[in-house]
Amino acid sequence: MMAGQGGLEKLSVGVLSAEQQEKLRLFKIKTRIENEKYLRSHSEVEVLIGDFVRDVLLKRPADICEFAAEHFTNPNLHMVTASKMEGKSEME
């Protein structure tokens, strides 16, 4: 939910107690660590995102949402990614 909707005004960390701020800080750290572990165990994410960004910069589509939809629904995406993952592991 965005600030300003449903009665929520601009959200501020300053309204949290010191204990709540510490819990929030620890939650953010834990989330970052979990995200990093996930990304390290799924290196195909780097390939998928890298290919998408490269194609966007090369083709510079006018409708980025349509381009992304076509890119990520490509029926060959799995095979292309798997092939690049094999090439990546051979280089390491």
For residues 51 and 90, the model is more confident at 51
In a domain, 85, yes or no: yes
C-alpha 46/C-alpha 40 separation (Å) is 9
21-47 pLDDT tens trace: 899 999 999 999 999 999 999 989 999
Whether pLDDT at 4 is above 70: no
In a domain, 87, yes or no: yes
C-alpha 90/C-alpha 71 separation (Å) is 25
C-alpha 84/C-alpha 90 separation (Å) is 10
In a domain, 22, yes or no: no
Banded pLDDT at 16 (limits 50, 70, 90): confident
In a domain, 11, yes or no: no
Structure tokens at 30: 């834990």
In a domain, 71, yes or no: yes
Question: Which structural domain range is residue 52 located in?
Answer: 43-92
In a domain, 30, yes or no: no
**81 near 48, Cβ under 8 Å?**
yes
